[in-house]
């Protein structure tokens, strides 16, 4: 049955409207989870607040379990789901830059927009920085970055295929890892002196 739009169950013209609704929902949940506070976000790096880790790890595990049950009941065709292609080198570099930006700026792009919307000036400056960065990258892409970007293209490998285990086993392991991480971080938070923010 699914995915609904590629299978033309929902017309493709609804794409952006649905994206808008999902986006509003995403922003609302980010804000309700307190993700528009850069102190909370940076807490994961300094070890006094792990809500970010919990929320995103829970989301990943829930989505994985959900998708595979959906696939099992033939409600969705996993082969039609878009997977970001892996360019190993640029992914590593990009990940490092993103992490640095996250820890320096105190926001990731999504939460930055959230915080700017509730009127945080630092987030607006952060967003401005993003757009300046995008502009510079876009203008210099062809002669500076294209080569690095296109280097080491590896298709769309899946973790459990690379490890040689079944997807079910991997999901179980990931869930266990998530729960263990939640447990350990809860212990750490208890030990660390509470931070006022």
Partner 1 sequence: MKMNLRYTLLSIILLALAFGFTVLPEKNLSKDLTAEAMLLAVLDDSRYVSTDQIASLLINRDPSVLLIDVRDTAQYNAFSLPGAINIPMDSLLNSLSDLYLSQGIKTKVFYSNGSIYASQAWLLSKRKGYKNVFIMRGGLNQWVETILQPTEPKPSEPTSAFTAYQFRLGASQYFGGSAKVGNSTNITKKPPVIRKKKKRVAGGC
Question: Six-digit token pair at 26?
Answer: 């995403």
Exactly one of 14, 45, 46, 72 binds partner 1 (CB under 8 A); which one?
Answer: 72
Measured CA to CA, the distance from residue 127 to residue 134 in angstroms comes to 10
Measured CA to CA, the distance from residue 190 to residue 134 in angstroms comes to 40
User: Does the footprint of partner 1 cover residue 68 (CB under 8 A)?
Assistant: yes
Measured CA to CA, the distance from residue 101 to residue 96 in angstroms comes to 9
Cβ burial, residue 138 (10 Å; 0-12/13-18/19+): exposed
Exactly one of 10, 33, 53, 65 binds partner 1 (CB under 8 A); which one?
Answer: 65
Interface mask (CB under 8 A) for partner 1, residues 119-158, using x and -?
----------------------------------------
User: Does the footprint of partner 1 cover residue 61 (CB under 8 A)?
Assistant: yes
Exactly one of 31, 71, 89, 145 binds partner 1 (CB under 8 A); which one?
Answer: 71
Instruction: Report 38-57 residues binding partner 1 (CB under 8 A).
Output: 56
Is-contact 197 51, C-beta < 8 A?
Answer: no
Q: Which stretch binds partner 1 (CB under 8 A): 38-46, 126-134, 149-157, 165-173?
A: 165-173
Q: Which stretch binds partner 1 (CB under 8 A): 37-45, 60-68, 124-132, 148-156?
A: 60-68
- 3-class secondary structure per residue, 45-106: HHCCCCHHHHHHHHHHHHHHHHHHHHHHCCCECHHHCCCCCCEHHHHHHHHHHHHHHHHHHC
User: Does the footprint of partner 1 cover residue 86 (CB under 8 A)?
Assistant: no
Measured CA to CA, the distance from residue 133 to residue 130 in angstroms comes to 5
Q: Which stretch binds partner 1 (CB under 8 A): 37-45, 117-125, 144-152, 170-178?
A: 170-178
User: Does the footprint of partner 1 cover residue 84 (CB under 8 A)?
Assistant: yes
User: Does the footprint of partner 1 cover residue 34 (CB under 8 A)?
Assistant: no
């Amino acid at each position: 049955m699914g995915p609904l739009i590629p299978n033309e169950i929902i017309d493709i013209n609804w794409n952006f409207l649905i994206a808008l609704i999902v986006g509003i929902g995403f922003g609302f949940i980010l804000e309700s989870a307190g993700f528009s506070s850069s102190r909370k976000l940076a807490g994961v790096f300094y070890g006094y607040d792990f809500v970010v880790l919990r929320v995103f790890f829970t989301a990943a595990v829930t989505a994985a379990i959900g998708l595979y049950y959906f696939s099992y009941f033939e409600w969705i065709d996993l082969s039609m789901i878009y997977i970001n292609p892996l360019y190993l080198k640029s992914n590593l570099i990009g990940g490092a830059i993103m992490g640095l930006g996250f820890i320096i700026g105190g926001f990731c792009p999504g939460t930055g927009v959230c915080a700017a919307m509730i009127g945080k000036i630092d987030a607006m400056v952060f967003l401005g920085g993003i757009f300046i960065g995008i502009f510079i990258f876009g203008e210099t892409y062809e002669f500076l970055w294209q080569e690095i970007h296109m280097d080491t293209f590896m298709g769309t490998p899946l973790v459990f295929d690379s490890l040689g285990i079944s997807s079910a086993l991997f999901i179980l392991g990931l869930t266990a890892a998530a729960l263990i991480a939640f447990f350990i971080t809860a212990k750490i938070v208890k030990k660390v002196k509470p931070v006022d923010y």
